[in-house]
Structure 1
Amino acid sequence: MATKWGDRDARRRDILTAGAALLADKGYAALQMRDVAKGAGISPGTIYTYFPTKEALFAELYAQRLILLHNAIEPECVSAEDPVALFVLVATEYLDVYRTYGRELNIWSLLDHTGATASSAHTEALTSAAHKVLAALHASLDRMYSARPEIERVDITSALTLLWATITGLSDQFTGVRQHLHTHDWDAAAQFAATTLTQGLGLRP
């Protein structure tokens, strides 16, 4: 069904749907505003009334994808008892996110250096979504430490920094050309990283 003229919410969804399709099919280089507008059934000029820049559109799409990531991992964050299994789940779910949204553009570097972009509602949505994912992981680690009072609790914020850096590094290793430099598959690498890190954090003997 065609979007009715004047329905800004539906038109915005059309733009995001068209942008997500281009990203999934051909990557960040294909996210051209003219092509997104064509996919959404609007004029090239109209798209800029919704998203002032390509980066703003990308940030909004990234935020939506992080919400889906949160929804996928949150149930396990609430109930998981095995930290290794939880780490592997989160890393594996994030692998697909990184393949589309992290490998070709580090949007976070743009947020640090572009004042106008950094203050937009689009990037605020991205930051909020990222914090939601991290909050679920923070609560899960807190719960696991609380269930093991005999374990020396580490600073959870520092632990999350290490865990997320490891997950990002693994994802980069397996979605770029460096994957050809080793013979490990994803499952083995994620399992090894999870076991090593959770032992270091005191969550496994």
Structure 2
Amino acid sequence: MATKWGDRDARRRDILTAGAALLADKGYAALQMRDVAKGAGISPGTIYTYFPTKEALFAELYAERLHLLHNVIEPECLSADDPAALFVLVATEYLDVYRIYGRELNIWSLLADIGAAESSAHTESLASAARKVLAVLHTSLDRMYSAQPEAERVEITSALTLLWATITGLSDQFTGARQHLHTHDWDAAAQFAATTLTRGLGLRP
């Protein structure tokens, strides 16, 4: 059913849907505003009244995807008692996010980039979504470390940095050309990384 003229919320959703489809199918290079407008059933000029640049559209799409990621991992982060299993869950859920969005802009580094850039509603939305994901992981680590002997605890921000760097590295390994250079599948690699890291960080069920 075609969006009614004047329904800005529905029109905005049409634009985001068209943009997400292009990203998923052909990647960031294919996110051209003219093509997004065509997919949304609007004129090229109209799309700029919603998103002033391709980067603004990408930021909004990325923010929406991070909110979905947060909603999936939050229940487990707040209740899971097996650190390795939680790592595998988060890494696996992030794999698709990285494939489409993270290869262009990692959520850890983007916080510093956005902080230094001129603020806008779109960049702030993306930064807020990234903070939510990282905050729930921080909360989970805090909860898990509280159950461990104090002598074995690692500073949480350092632990989170290492865990996220590993998740990103695994995702990069399995979404680029390098995935063909090894014989391990995703499940085996994620489980090995999870077991090795959580033990090294003093996290045990």
| TM-score of the pair, normalised by structure 1 | 0.92
Give the aligned partner of residue 191 of structure 1: 191
What residue is the counterpart of 1:49 in the other structure?
A: 49
Per the alignment, residue 143 of structure 1 pairs with: 143
Residue type of the partner of 1:37?
A
RMSD over aligned CA atoms reads 2.1
Unmatched 5+ stretches in structure 2: none
Counterpart for residue 62 of structure 1 = 62
Cα contact 1:145–1:151 (8 A) shared by 2? no
Change (3 A) 1:113 1:148: closer
1:112 corresponds to: 113
Contact 1:63 1:125 in 2 (8 A): yes
Aligned to 1:6: 6
The answer on whether the counterparts of 1:151 and 1:202 sit within 8 Å (CA) in structure 2 is: no
What is aligned with 1:178?
Answer: 178
Poorly superposed stretches of 4+, deviation over 6 Å: none
CA distance in 2, matches of 1:179, 1:66: 24
Measured against aligned partners, the alpha-carbon deviations of 1:35-82 in whole angstroms (never above 9, x if no partner) come to 111111111011111111111101110110011111111111011000
Unaligned 5+ runs, structure 1: none
Distance 1:74 1:169, change over 3 A: same
Percent of pairs identical after alignment? 86
CA contact (8 A) 1:112 1:118 kept: no
Counterpart in the other structure of 1:16: 16
Is the 1:111–1:123 Cα contact (8 Å) retained in structure 2? no
Provide the aligned length of Structure 1 versus Structure 2. Answer: 203
**Distance in 1 between the 2:142 and 2:33 partners?**
43
Amino acid corresponding to residue 119 of structure 2 in structure 1 = S
User: Does the CA contact (< 8 Å) of 1:99 and 1:171 recur in 2?
Assistant: yes
Cα deviations across residues 90-126 of structure 1 (Å, max 9, x unaligned)?
Answer: 00000011111122x23756983897x6411111111
* Residue 26 of structure 1: aligned partner: 26
For 1:31 and 1:176, the matched residues in 2 are separated by 19
The TM-score, its normalising length taken from structure 2, stands at 0.92
